[in-house]
Amino acid sequence: MVLRSPSKDEVRLLEFLLSKAQIGVLSEDWRAKLRVSEMEDGGMGSLRLFPDGSQVEDRKFGRRASECQFTDEDGVEVLASLNLDQDGNLYELDIWKTDFGKLIRIPAQLA
């Protein structure tokens, strides 16, 4: 598993989803510490989230914190969900493009 820093667009999507979520306050430097790993989803853009920058074993899905829907550049609808682990920590950014195609771009404006 390769860990990397999230892209600016990925961070923007996470910030939007966090603004809609009912979770505790994250540390001020969460963006700097966050590392991500791409999930095998056919290129739809889903990410496993590592809030402290390192892999932690035995983490499990806890709950969906928030979600949003947007239209990709090719007109296909996309559902993005922010999932937390069993301890309430950032766990996954689950992206599902309704035609199972590759995500082209996260839009500049999210609603």
Q: How many CB atoms lie within 10 A of CB 34?
A: 21
User: Where along the chain do its domains lie?
Assistant: 8-54+61-97
> Which amino acid appears at position 35 of this protein?
R
Whole-prediction pTM value? Answer: 0.91
CB atoms within 10 A of CB 62: 14
Q: pLDDT per residue over 81-110, tens digit each?
A: 999 999 889 999 999 999 999 999 999 988
* Other residues' Cβ atoms within 10 Å of the Cβ of residue 42: 12
| Per-residue model confidence as pLDDT tens digits over 24-82 | 778 888 999 999 999 999 898 999 999 988 777 789 999 999 999 999 999 999 999 99
Instruction: For residue 40, give the DSSP letter.
Output: S
Query: Residue 15 — very low, low, confident or very high, per pLDDT cuts 50/70/90?
Result: very high
CA distance 25 to 21: 10
